[in-house]
Amino acid sequence: MSAGSSLPYRLRPNKAVDRELFLSLLMRLAPKLALEKYHYVGLGGPFLEDFRLVHGRLGIAKMTCLEIEEQVHKRQIFNRPVATIECVHKTLEDFLDESDFGTPAIIWFDYTEPKAITTQIERFARTIGTVPIGSILRVTLNANPMSLGIPASKDLSVEVEGEASEDRAVKPTIQEWRLARFKERLGALFPSGLTADGMTFKTYGLSLLRAMKLAVDHEALSYRDRRVVWALATHYADGQAMVTAAMVVAPQDDTEIEELVKGWEFYTTTDAPHRLDLPALSTLERLTMESNDDAKTKLGFELPSTDMGTDPFEVFRKFYRIYPHFSRVEL
């Protein structure tokens, strides 16, 4: 587990929205799939906030939290919000290898280490054939293009506003250099047609999702009794850029789950993930934006944008109902 994963959600508003979207998806599927009978498996960090919410919103009692770091594992046992949560000191992969699920499961592969990206994608894809039909799988991947490495500046050419340095013919740009590293790292999972334009902070997450979907679709061809129904994909950054994707392992001949998912207001696929880039707002700014159709005019100023390339007013309008609110409580 990375140090970043132990940060409280009040310091990670976009991840908080991402979590609420996933919970909303589960609540959408709950009546159809009877999710209260499922087995929830994931990495809860020291505070197990996701587990508390999954139990509170869905009534799931059978839950397993995995953690490899001993001290974090001890904190989980101490902070466990629900007695039925089993805190296990081992990796998610080892647990899955040793488990034989008798009932469908909800499994969250929450990865933060970028160097093992190929293994992470392959493991996620392989799981669609090892869980019972009806299971829900979700993956989080590190989408920071700098994780591919940082070359020496003398080894790169520079392009600024269409103007290139004199060594352009013999040296790659930073995006071209990253593309070569990405291809080396992914091997057979490298998406065909992917160009250097997919190696920027704004686009690298989409490139990862393309590779992940390629692996899942290839794996799904091996099974005649099941198919993959994509339901949710997000791209966000609270300092560290991340992408997520969630899917249902549905029966091959079932159409009801797909119709249910596509009718959900936040339905999206890996081809066009939600860009979660919500602005930091004061309480007065938030209330003003919630109560006015033309919030930009009412406020009278622009809100700062980020490298994600989104309009903060548009993003807030789309997700204002699940925008996180944090307040101090004296205990």
Better-scored residue on pLDDT, 137 or 304: 137
* pLDDT-derived band at 331, boundaries 50, 70, 90: low
Q: How far, in Å, CA of 173 to CA of 162, rounded?
A: 12
Instruction: State phi, psi for 235 to the nearest 5 degrees.
Output: -140, 120
Residue in this structure with the two tokens 């949710």, named with its chain if needed:
232
- The predicted model gives 73-91 an average pLDDT of 95
What's the farthest any 2 CA atoms get from each other in the chain? 65
pLDDT of residue 160: 63
Q: Which residues contact 127 (CB under 8 A, 6 or more apart)?
A: 96, 107, 109, 137
pLDDT of amino acid 173: 87
Residue predicted with more confidence, 151 or 117: 117
Nearest Cα to 212, choosing from 96, 145, 128?
A: 128
Q: What is the mean pLDDT of residues 162-169?
A: 61
For residue 98, is pLDDT > 60? yes
Cα–Cα distances (Å) from 254 to 185, 191, 260, 306, 318, in that order, read 36, 29, 11, 41, 30
Query: What's residue 226's pLDDT?
Result: 95
Residue count of the chain: 331
* The pLDDT of residue 57 is above 80: yes
pLDDT at 201: 92
- 14 contacts 276 by C-beta, under 8 angstroms: yes
- Find all residues with CB under 8 Å of 153, minimum gap 6, and list them: none
Nearest in space to 206 (alpha carbons), one of 184, 191, 186, 188: 191
What percent of the residues of the chain are helix, what percent strand, and what percent coil, each to the nearest 5?
45, 20, 35
Q: What is the mean pLDDT of the chain?
A: 90
Q: Count the Cβ atoms, other than its own, within 10 Å of residue 193.
A: 6
| Vertex 209 angle, CA 318 and 65, to 5° | 85
Beta-strand (E) ranges in 124-239? 136-142, 159-160, 163-164, 226-238
> Following DSSP, what letter does each residue of 258-320 receive, concatenated?
HHHHHTSTT---TTS-EEE-PPP--HHHHHHHHS-TTHHHHHTSPPP--TT---HHHHHHHHG
Whether 17 shows a pLDDT value over 60: the answer reads: yes
Q: What is the pLDDT confidence band of residue 169, given thresholds at 50, 70 and 90? A: low
pLDDT at 132 over 50: yes
Instruction: Average the pLDDT over each of 51-55, 83-87, 213-217, 303-307 and give the range with the smallest value.
Output: 303-307
Determine which helix (DSSP H) or strand (DSSP E) holds 152, and give its type and residue range. Answer: none
CA end-to-end span of the chain: 29
- Sorted by where each starts, the structural domains of the chain and their CATH numbers stand as 3-144+201-276 (3.40.50.150), 283-322 (no CATH)
pLDDT digits (tens, 9 = 90+) for 239-260: 789 999 999 999 999 999 999 9
| Residue (of 73, 71, 215) closest to 141 by Cα position | 215
Is it the case that residue 4 has pLDDT exceeding 60? no
The percent of residues in the chain predicted with pLDDT above 90, rounded, is 77
**pLDDT(311) > 70:** yes
Residues in CB range of 13: below 8 A, 6 or more apart: 238, 278, 280, 323, 324
Q: With H, G, I as helix, E, B as strand and everything else as coil, classify residue 112.
A: coil
Q: Are 65 and 43 in contact (CB under 8 A)?
A: yes
Inform me whether the pLDDT recorded for 328 exceeds 90. Answer: no
